[in-house]
C-alpha cells in the first residue's frame, strides 16, 4: 500500500512540476523566459492589396475529469450547437476514449469563441478551455486560392505561396522585439482586380460548358510576371478542410495534359529556328499524313480537312495536322527534341511555385516511328498551362525565353525592401526575324478562314492559336471519345506583344468541345478586360498624354485608443493594422468600406474587447 501511495505521490509531484513549467513558459537558471508572440508575414498582390494576414484563432478542448457528469449531455449539446459539430459523435468519443483530454474543435474564429464563452458562463459549463492561437485570415476568400495556398495547424505553409515563401513569411523568435517576432511581407505579381474579373469570366465559361475545370494564365509578355492565375474549381482557404480535395489541385503549375494543336506554334517555331523550314516552305495536305517507314510500318495521321498546298502560315491558320507532321520531317529527331526542350517543355518553369510539374516529354530513345509527327501536332507530350504561357515569351522577346514569375518583392515588417524579382532571361532560342514570322502567322489564325476567328478584336491585333486535344481514358489507356481539352493561346498586340493569355477548358460537356468555338471567345473576353484596364492602345481608342503624377491626400492607418472611433466609410486597407492588436479581438467582415461597427463610436475600450467591422 505504501509503495502505491509513493508512486501516486511522485506522479503528483511530476504533474505539478510540469504545470509550473508550462505556466512560466520555461525557465533557465530560475529566470522566467518571456513568451514570444510570432506573427506570420502577410501576402499581398502587386498593388499592396492584402491576400493573407495573421489573425487570432482559437482551439477548444475539454478536460473530462472537470466536467459535471450530471449535466454532461446537455453541456455537450450546447457546445456542439455553437461549434457546428455532432454532439452524438463527441459523446461517443468521450465514452470510448480513455484519454481525459480532447480537442472539440480547432482554429475557430473570434465570433464563435465569444459565443462559446457566453454559453460557458450562462450554463456554468466546467472543463472547457479556449486557447488563443495564431491563425490565418484570407480577406479575399477564394480569390487566387491555388496561388496563395493555406497554412496548417502550426501556422506553417502547406500549399501555394504560403509554402513557397515559408522561410520569408515565418517569424523568427530569435529576432523578437518587445516580445513580438514578425515575418516578412510577400508581394505577388498578380493584380487582384484582374484576377477577380478573369475568375468570374472563367467561372461563367465553366458553367456554360458544363466543364470539369477551367485554367487561365495571364502574363506580362516582356517580364514574365504573372498577372492572373486562375484554376477552377477553387476553394476558400479560410475553410480549406471543408473543400473537395479536387479543388486543391493547382491546374496552372501541376496539372499536366496533352496540349493539342496550340502546340503547333512551338513545333513550327522550332523547325523554323533550326532551318528545316522557312515562311515559304510548302507541304501538301490531301486530308491525311501518310508515311511508310523502313520497317514497313505505315503511319497515317488524319487531318481536319483537305487543305491542299500549305505553308507555315496556312498550317497555323487552318490548324493543319498533315502539314505540321510533314514539316517535322525536315529536321532530325534529336534536334527537334532538343529545341522543344529549349522552349522549356520537360522542365519546371521556375515560377516560384511549390511542386511545379515538368510535364512529360520522353527522350528520343523512347520514341516510336510516329512520335515526331505526333508531337508536332501536340500529342505524345504533356505540358502545364504555365509552361505554355512561358514558352510564348520567346515570341514576344525576339527569341529570348523568360522565366515566369509569381513573386514581386519581399519586405520586412518595418517596410524595408529585402528582395525584388528581376526579369530573368533563360536562353536565346531563335532570332527576332523568325519570332516575327511566327507572330504574323498566328495573326492569320484570327481571319475569317482561321480557327481562331472568334478570338478576334477588330481594333486590336492579336496573334492566336487554338487547339482541341483528346484525353487519355485512364481505364482503357486509349484516347477517349468523350473527354477533350479545348484551349487557346494569344499574344497582343501583335506588333509588339505586351500580354500573353493561355486558357484551357477541361472536359467540356456543352454544345461544343472545340477550342476555336469555346476557348477562343474566352480569350477574346479576357483580352478585352486586360486591354481596357491597362489602357492598351487600340485602333479606335483615343490617346491622351498625362504627366503620370496624381496627388492624393495622405491616409493614415486607423488606430483605436481609449474610445471607439467612428470608422464609417474607412476602406479595408486602412483597417488591416488593427488585426495585429494583441489586446483586442478584431474581426473584419466583407470587402470595401465600413458601414457598420460594434461597439458604437464613443464606447470605452477595454483589453480583450471584441470589435466587429462590417464592410461592403
The whole-angstrom separation of Cα 340 and Cα 363 is 11
69-74-77-81 Cα dihedral, nearest 10 degrees: -130
Mean pLDDT computed over every residue of the chain: 88
Greatest mean pLDDT among 38-42, 504-508, 539-543 lies in 504-508
DSSP readout, 36-103?
Answer: -EEEPPPEE-TT--EEEEEEEEEEEEEEGGGS-GGGHHHHHHHHHHHHT--HHHHHHHHHH---SEEE
| pLDDT one-digit tens code per residue, 394-450 | 999 999 999 999 999 999 988 899 999 999 999 999 999 999 999 999 999 999 999
Greatest mean pLDDT among 7-16, 75-84, 371-380 lies in 371-380
For the residues 296-321, what does the mean pLDDT come to? 92
Residue 279's pLDDT is 94
Residue 412's pLDDT is 93
pLDDT of residue 33 exceeding 70:
no
Distances (CA, A) of 598 to 195, 363, 384, 601, 614: 32, 64, 48, 8, 9
In a domain, 327, yes or no: yes
Within this chain, do residues 275 and 334 fall inside the same structural domain, yes or no? Answer: yes
| pLDDT one-digit tens code per residue, 129-171 | 998 877 889 999 999 999 999 998 788 999 999 999 999 999 9
Within this chain, do residues 243 and 181 fall inside the same structural domain, yes or no? Answer: no
In a domain, 19, yes or no: no
The residue to which cell 496573334 is assigned: 463
DSSP assignment letter at 197: H
Contacts of 414 (CB under 8 A, 6+ apart): none
Q: Provide the β-strand partners of residue 457.
A: 460
Is the link from the previous residue into 233 a cis peptide, with omega within 30 of 0?
Answer: yes
Domain of residue 600 covers 572-615
CATH number of the domain residue 528 falls in: 3.40.710.10
pLDDT of residue 228 exceeding 60:
yes
Residue 559's pLDDT is 79
pLDDT of residue 198 exceeding 70:
yes
| pLDDT one-digit tens code per residue, 446-501 | 999 999 999 999 999 999 999 999 999 888 889 999 999 999 999 999 999 999 99
Comparison of pLDDT for 466 and 90, the residue scoring more: 466
Comparison of pLDDT for 58 and 524, the residue scoring more: 524
Within this chain, do residues 160 and 213 fall inside the same structural domain, yes or no? Answer: no
In a domain, 183, yes or no: yes
Residue 551's pLDDT is 52
**Worst-scoring range by mean pLDDT, 23-32, 352-361, 439-448, 597-606?**
23-32
Within this chain, do residues 181 and 213 fall inside the same structural domain, yes or no? Answer: no
- The percent of residues above 90 in pLDDT, for the chain, comes to 61
**Worst-scoring range by mean pLDDT, 20-29, 75-84, 516-525, 589-598?**
20-29
Angle, in degrees to the nearest 10, between helices 87-96 and 72-83: 130
Within this chain, do residues 477 and 602 fall inside the same structural domain, yes or no? Answer: no
Residue 547's pLDDT is 58
Burial of 360 (0-12, 13-18, 19+ CB in 10 A): middle
Count of domains in the chain? Answer: 3
Within this chain, do residues 166 and 216 fall inside the same structural domain, yes or no? Answer: no
DSSP readout, 106-170?
Answer: EEE-HHHHHHHHHHHHHTT--SEEEEEEEEEE-TTTTTTHHHH-EE-TTS-EEEHHHHHTHHHHS
Within this chain, do residues 218 and 247 fall inside the same structural domain, yes or no? Answer: yes
Within this chain, do residues 151 and 240 fall inside the same structural domain, yes or no? Answer: no
For the residues 287-294, what does the mean pLDDT come to? 85
242-245-250-251 Cα dihedral, nearest 10 degrees: -120
Other C-beta atoms within 10 Å of 110: how many?
20
For the residues 374-395, what does the mean pLDDT come to? 97
**What b-and-e string marks burial along 45-57, b requiring 16 or more CB atoms within 10 Å of the CB?**
bbeebbbbbbbbb
391-393-394-397 Cα dihedral, nearest 10 degrees: 180
State the Cα angle at 113 between 107 and 119, rounded to 5°: 140
Residue 597's pLDDT is 85
In a domain, 556, yes or no: no
Residue 542's pLDDT is 52
By the 8 A CB rule, do 62 and 80 touch?
A: no
Contacts of 348 (CB under 8 A, 6+ apart): 356, 357, 358
Residue 614's pLDDT is 85
In a domain, 228, yes or no: yes
Greatest mean pLDDT among 89-103, 121-135, 452-466 lies in 452-466
In a domain, 540, yes or no: no
By the 8 A CB rule, do 60 and 105 touch?
A: yes
Within this chain, do residues 132 and 231 fall inside the same structural domain, yes or no? Answer: no
pLDDT of residue 26 exceeding 50:
no
| pLDDT one-digit tens code per residue, 4-20 | 444 334 444 344 344 44
pLDDT of residue 39 exceeding 70:
yes
Residue count (the chain): 616
Within this chain, do residues 254 and 140 fall inside the same structural domain, yes or no? Answer: no
Q: What sign has the CA pseudo-torsion 239, 243, 246, 247?
A: negative
| pLDDT one-digit tens code per residue, 412-421 | 988 899 999 9
Within this chain, do residues 64 and 161 fall inside the same structural domain, yes or no? Answer: yes
Residue 6's pLDDT is 42
pLDDT of residue 613 exceeding 50:
yes
pLDDT of residue 64 exceeding 50:
yes
In a domain, 125, yes or no: yes
| pLDDT one-digit tens code per residue, 552-567 | 454 556 778 888 888 8
Within this chain, do residues 150 and 216 fall inside the same structural domain, yes or no? Answer: no
In a domain, 278, yes or no: yes
DSSP H or E segment with residue 385? helix 385-391
Amino acid at each position: 500500500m505504501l509503495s502505491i501511495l509513493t508512486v501516486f505521490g511522485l506522479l503528483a509531484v511530476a504533474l505539478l512540476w510540469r504545470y509550473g513549467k508550462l505556466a512560466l513558459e520555461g525557465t533557465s537558471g530560475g529566470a522566467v523566459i518571456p513568451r514570444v508572440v510570432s506573427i506570420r508575414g502577410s501576402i499581398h498582390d502587386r498593388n499592396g492589396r492584402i491576400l493573407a494576414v495573421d489573425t487570432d484563432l482559437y482551439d477548444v478542448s475539454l478536460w473530462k475529469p472537470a466536467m459535471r457528469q450530471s449535466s454532461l449531455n446537455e453541456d455537450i449539446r450546447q457546445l456542439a450547437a455553437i461549434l457546428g459539430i455532432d454532439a452524438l459523435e463527441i459523446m461517443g468519443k468521450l465514452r470510448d476514449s480513455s484519454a481525459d483530454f480532447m480537442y472539440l474543435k480547432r482554429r475557430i474564429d473570434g465570433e464563435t469563441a465569444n459565443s462559446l464563452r457566453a454559453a460557458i458562463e450562462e450554463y456554468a459549463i466546467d472543463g472547457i478551455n479556449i486557447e488563443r492561437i495564431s491563425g490565418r485570415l484570407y480577406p479575399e476568400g477564394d480569390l487566387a486560392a491555388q496561388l496563395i495556398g493555406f497554412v496548417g495547424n502550426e501556422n506553417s505553409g502547406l500549399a501555394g505561396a504560403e509554402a513557397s515563401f515559408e522561410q520569408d513569411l515565418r517569424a523568427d523568435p530569435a529576432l523578437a522585439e518587445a516580445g513580438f517576432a514578425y515575418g516578412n511581407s510577400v508581394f505577388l505579381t498578380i493584380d487582384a482586380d484582374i484576377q477577380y474579373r478573369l475568375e468570374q469570366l472563367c467561372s461563367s465559361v465553366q458553367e456554360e460548358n458544363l466543364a470539369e475545370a477551367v485554367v487561365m494564365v495571364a502574363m506580362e509578355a516582356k517580364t514574365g510576371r504573372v498577372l492572373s492565375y486562375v484554376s477552377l474549381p477553387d476553394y476558400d482557404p479560410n475553410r480549406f478542410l471543408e473543400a473537395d480535395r479536387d479543388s486543391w489541385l493547382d491546374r496552372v503549375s501541376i496539372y499536366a495534359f496533352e496540349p493539342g494543336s496550340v502546340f503547333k506554334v512551338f513545333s513550327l517555331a522550332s523547325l523554323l529556328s533550326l532551318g528545316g523550314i522557312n515562311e515559304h516552305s510548302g507541304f501538301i495536305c490531301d486530308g491525311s499524313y501518310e508515311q511508310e517507314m523502313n520497317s514497313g510500318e505505315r503511319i497515317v495521321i488524319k487531318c481536319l480537312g483537305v487543305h491542299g498546298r500549305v505553308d507555315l502560315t496556312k498550317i497555323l491558320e487552318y490548324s493543319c495536322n498533315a502539314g505540321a507532321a510533314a514539316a517535322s520531317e525536315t529536321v532530325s529527331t534529336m534536334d527537334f527534341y532538343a529545341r522543344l526542350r529549349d522552349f522549356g517543355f520537360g522542365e519546371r518553369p521556375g515560377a516560384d511555385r511549390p511542386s511545379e510539374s515538368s510535364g512529360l516529354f520522353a527522350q528520343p530513345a523512347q520514341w516510336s516511328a510516329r512520335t515526331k509527327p505526333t508531337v508536332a501536332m501536340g500529342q505524345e507530350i504533356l505540358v502545364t498551362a504555365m509552361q505554355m504561357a512561358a514558352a510564348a515569351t520567346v515570341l514576344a522577346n525576339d527569341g529570348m525565353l523568360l522565366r515566369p514569375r509569381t513573386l514581386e518583392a519581399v519586405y520586412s515588417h518595418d517596410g524595408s525592401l529585402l528582395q525584388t524579382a528581376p526579369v530573368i532571361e533563360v536562353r536565346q532560342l531563335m532570332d527576332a526575324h523568325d519570332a516575327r514570322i511566327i507572330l504574323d502567322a498566328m495573326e492569320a489564325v484570327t481571319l475569317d478562314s482561321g480557327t481562331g476567328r472568334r478570338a478576334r478584336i477588330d481594333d486590336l491585333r492579336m496573334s492566336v492559336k487554338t487547339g482541341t486535344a483528346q484525353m487519355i481514358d485512364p481505364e482503357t489507356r486509349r484516347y477517349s471519345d468523350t473527354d477533350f481539352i479545348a484551349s487557346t493561346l494569344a499574344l497582343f498586340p501583335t506588333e509588339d506583344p505586351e500580354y500573353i493569355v493561355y486558357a484551357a477548358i477541361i472536359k467540356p460537356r456543352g454544345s461544343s468541345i472545340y477550342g476555336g468555338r469555346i476557348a477562343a471567345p474566352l480569350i477574346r473576353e479576357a483580352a478585352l478586360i486586360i486591354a481596357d484596364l491597362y489602357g492598351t492602345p487600340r485602333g479606335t481608342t483615343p490617346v491622351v498624354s498625362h504627366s503620370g503624377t496624381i496627388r492624393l491626400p495622405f491616409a493614415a492607418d486607423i488606430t483605436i485608443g481609449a474610445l471607439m472611433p467612428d470608422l464609417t466609410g474607412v476602406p479595408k486597407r486602412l483597417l488591416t493594422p488593427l488585426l495585429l492588436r494583441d489586446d483586442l479581438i478584431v474581426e473584419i467582415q466583407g470587402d470595401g468600406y465600413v458601414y457598420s461597427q460594434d461597439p458604437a463610436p464613443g464606447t470605452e475600450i477595454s483589453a480583450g474587447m471584441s470589435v466587429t467591422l462590417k464592410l461592403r
